[in-house]
Structure 1
């Protein structure tokens, strides 16, 4: 098969990483993998793994993007992909407009992936116009069913996101050199049990709840909180607000802001407990799954994809949604006597890749 994946750009992010993983797998399996995007710092990695990249500003949020319809249609006519896989709303509209102008007997098969709980609107409905619609979790399928009832249940396919267990092996321990370097950078963490809240610094990630939880646990001097992740330049004001809240709670020596890290695997593995306190359901929750894959206990609000993970892998970590007060005794128990995380993890990268290829094969076989 020749597969053309389309997304706004190739910089950081879960959609981008999934595109690279799928492109590498397609190339490895002998398929022709193409990616259309506005470019970015991951293009070289994509191409090194065997995919071809085509650069067009397909993700630009401007009416001028519509002028690309003719060029995109010509691209589809010249490349003749078997599968057109749309992963984001702006490029999905552009590619759909070009795709529908092709003769029906020469169009590629159309696949869309609903990656998140988008605002419900006609604008977002484009992600349900594929001939097959991939949902990244059962929660996302429920969201589509509830909000876009005109989407036939027959075309929905759940293909959960996954992580590579060889990249996040169960029982992994950071090296002594890494620990020494981390503790020299953050000496206040030396000898402490770490409670980690990973993710971008945005209001949705529940930093205020994290502060309340660490404050309630501050009688245990062995514990130290980590906020792992950076803030977008537009979110710097919120980051300053959270830093001030930490200071106002008297926790400046009990909570560390690490900023963005390229060694998140090691940070997660060094943690006694990883938290997910997102204020809205996440479509999946990759970071929590990475921690669980490592065998690190996770406690998270029972919402969305994180609830699905914990239901299967670590039910003791389920927390009442948006209720830090009720979460505190559960977290205390997990810190005192944590049950082991199961090794039987169905959310693997290989299953995700095979599941996506199965959707493609199913469509192509309908010719």
Structure 2
């Protein structure tokens, strides 16, 4: 079969990673894989693995994007895919409008994936207008059913995101060279109990909660928090605000920002506890899963995809939403007594790919 995936860009993020993973699985099984996007730094990887990438500006939330409908229709007619798989709202709208100009007999099948808890409106509803709608967690299934009741329940298919357990093996330890380099760059981290908050610097990720927690843990001088994630130019003011707050609370010796990192596996394995403190529910929670996969305990709010992962893999890390006291006591329990994490056997990348390709096959039958 020939599958064409459509998404805004190919730079970084869960949508992009999922696109590459499905493209790789399609090629590995002898199918044809095509991706349409505005391009980005992941394109060379995609092409090297055997997928055809067609550049088209389907990434802008503006009326000018409507100019791409004719070009997209032409691409669909030339490529003649069996299935179109839309992964974002602008590409989904453009695909719907492009298909209107193709006769019903020649139209490919249409699948969408709901990756986020989008704002509820007509613009977002387009993600539920497909033959099959993939939801990346049970929380997303509930979001669709609650907000878009006109989407038939039998058309919603829950397929969890997955990770490659070989990339995040249980018991993984960073190399001596890595540790030496980290202790040279950040000597304050040596011989400390490390609490890690991964994720980019935005108001959503719960940095204020971390600062409040470290304030409460002042009587544990060997506990140190590490924030792994960068701030883009638009978030620089927020980063400055956080750093001022840390200075005011006299926590500069207890909290370290290490910026954007490509060695996230090492940081997750190096940490004693990973925190998931987002102010809003996450649709899946890949980083929490990656941490548990290497064997690091995760403590997080009981909502969204993170709660689904924790309830199945590490229920002792679940805490009631915004309960600062429960957060403190759970962290203290982990400081006093290291908690083992069992090897993760669910949420595998292989399962995600198998289920997605099985859905493609079933729709063609």
Helix, strand or coil for the counterpart of 2:272?
strand
Helix, strand or coil for the counterpart of 2:225?
strand
The TM-score with structure 2 as length reference comes to 0.98
What is the correspondence of 1:303-318 to structure 2 with a 5 Å cutoff?
303-318=303-318
Distance in 1 of aligned mates of 2:338 and 2:131: 45
Name the residue aligned to 1:159.
Answer: 159
Name the residue aligned to 1:73.
Answer: 73
Name the residue aligned to 2:249.
Answer: 249
Name the residue aligned to 1:13.
Answer: 13
**C-alpha displacement of 1:218:** 2.0
Name the residue aligned to 2:190.
Answer: 190
Root-mean-square deviation over aligned CA pairs: 0.9
Any idea what the Cα deviations from partners look like across 1:243-278, whole Å, max 9, x if unmatched? 111111111011000000111100010000000000
Name the residue aligned to 2:353.
Answer: 353
Distance in 1 of aligned mates of 2:150 and 2:171: 45
**C-alpha displacement of 1:342:** 2.1
The answer on 1:213 being equivalent to 2:213 is: yes
The answer on 1:129 being equivalent to 2:129 is: yes
* Structure 2, gaps ≥5 residues long: none
8 Å contact 1:10–1:37 — kept in the other structure?
yes
**C-alpha displacement of 1:339:** 3.1
Any idea what the Cα deviations from partners look like across 1:146-182, whole Å, max 9, x if unmatched? 0000000010000000110000000000011100001
Distance in 2 of aligned mates of 1:191 and 1:340: 20
Any idea what the Cα deviations from partners look like across 1:202-252, whole Å, max 9, x if unmatched? 111000000111121121122110011011211111111111111111110
8 Å contact 1:213–1:325 — kept in the other structure?
no
Name the residue aligned to 1:295.
Answer: 295
**C-alpha displacement of 1:326:** 2.5
**C-alpha displacement of 1:338:** 3.7
The TM-score with structure 1 as length reference comes to 0.98
Distance in 2 of aligned mates of 1:33 and 1:259: 35
Name the residue aligned to 1:50.
Answer: 50
Any idea what the Cα deviations from partners look like across 1:262-299, whole Å, max 9, x if unmatched? 11100010000000000000000111111011111000
Runs of 4+ that moved beyond 4 A: none
Helix, strand or coil for the counterpart of 1:97?
helix
Any idea what the Cα deviations from partners look like across 1:17-42, whole Å, max 9, x if unmatched? 11111111111110100000000111
Distance in 1 of aligned mates of 2:304 and 2:100: 33
Distance in 1 of aligned mates of 2:317 and 2:190: 26
8 Å contact 1:170–1:294 — kept in the other structure?
yes
Any idea what the Cα deviations from partners look like across 1:299-352, whole Å, max 9, x if unmatched? 000110000000000000001102223310011112222432221431111111
Aligned residues: 365
8 Å contact 2:293–2:344 — kept in the other structure?
no
**C-alpha displacement of 1:193:** 1.5
Distance in 1 of aligned mates of 2:183 and 2:99: 54
Name the residue aligned to 2:107.
Answer: 107
Distance in 1 of aligned mates of 2:8 and 2:339: 42
**C-alpha displacement of 1:100:** 3.0
8 Å contact 2:268–2:274 — kept in the other structure?
yes
* Structure 1, gaps ≥5 residues long: none
